[in-house]
Copies of this chain bind each other. A is one copy, B any other.
Amino acid sequence: VSYVAVVGPGAGARKSDCALARTVGRLLGEAGCTLVTGGLGGVMAAAAAGARSAGAHVVGLLPGSSGDEASADVTIAVPTGLGELRNALVVRAAEAVIAIGGSWGTLSEIALARRTDVPVVCLAGWTVQDDAGRPVPLETADLPEDAVRWVLAKLS
């Protein structure tokens, strides 16, 4: 079994990002992956719902100390009590990461994945430029199918 994280904004996520996340979650589940998320709402909850619809396991590494904050489709809730340090734990527990949408928390996870050589691909998210205005290379995908295909190729 492969563990793939889907990261993205929680409460306040755009509907379009949640729709992408739901499809990504479903495709990962259909491919036999276990989904790893931060366990909360928004993109995380949508990916969880998609994965669950395909019968996959969903691990929620929660920032707080209670499993009660996990979204409905989390099948394994792990309350870490680590606050935002759990972002790094999500990345560490995953063999690859799909980032959907833009937020500072999401960007921290993309950056940590790049820093630690965990393959990461971005859908509909923020981009980064260096101080000369050049884009910093970051794998992107236009469609959920492309993102999942890229990740599965990395894991095979």
Contact = CB atoms under 8 A, between A and B. Distances in A.
A3 B116 CA distance: 27
Interface in A104-130: 104-105, 107-108, 111-112, 114-116, 124-130
Interface in A76-121: 76-85, 87-89, 92-93, 95, 102-105, 107-108, 111-112, 114-116
Interface string A58-87: 010100010100000001111111111101
A22 interface: no
A93 to B, nearest CB: 5
A76 B104 contact: no
Contact of A128 (B61, B87, B126): B126
Contacts of A136: 102, 126
A140 B116 CA distance: 26
Given A84-B115, A103-B115, A126-B129, 18 more contacts: A3-B67, A57-B76, A61-B78, A78-B78, A81-B83, A84-B88, A84-B116, A85-B92, A87-B88, A88-B88, A102-B131, A104-B114, A105-B111, A105-B115, A107-B111, A126-B130, A127-B129, A129-B129
Q: What 6 pairs across the A-B complex have the smallest Cβ distances?
A: A108-B111, A104-B114, A107-B111, A104-B115, A85-B88, A105-B115
